[in-house]
Amino acid sequence: MRYLPIASALLGILLLSLLLLLLPPKPVSSASELSSLSDNSKVAVKGIVVKEKFSQNLRYLTIKENITLLCDCSNLPHLINKNVSVIALLDRYDSRTYLKVLKIKYR
């Protein structure tokens, strides 16, 4: 009987995690569309990388649509002038909007 609250809480967390993983990302084509979305929304972005900045283990990528991507992808080659397709989570910090990359494909 005392394990019922813990079990139900764990089940709820599991269901919410599955919901986040299984929902399709919202396609975004410009930075202005990001303002209408809530934090931790899953989004899909495509574009050409115009700026790349390294900081410790992170990489900041800016695509042509003026959207900043935060990527933990130090194992990838330089992505300047490459077309990328990204699935990311929306995050706001210091009045800036970042997309934390979950999955990235490049050509």
Q: What is the pLDDT of residue 73?
A: 80
Contacts of 8 (CB under 8 A, 6+ apart): none
Report the distance separating Cα 42 and Cα 63, nearest Å. 18
Ordered by where they begin, the domains of the chain are 25-106 (2.40.50.140)
Helix, strand, coil percentages in the chain from 3-state DSSP, rounded to 5:
20, 45, 30
- pTM for the full model? 0.75
Q: What is the pLDDT of residue 41?
A: 86
Give the pLDDT of the chain (107 residues) as one tens digit per residue. Answer: 788 999 999 999 999 888 877 888 888 888 888 888 888 888 999 999 999 988 888 898 999 888 889 988 878 888 899 999 999 999 888 888 889 999 999 88
Q: What is the pLDDT of residue 101?
A: 92
Yes or no: say if 50 and 63 are a contact pair by the CB < 8 Å rule.
Answer: yes
Q: What is the pLDDT of residue 31?
A: 81
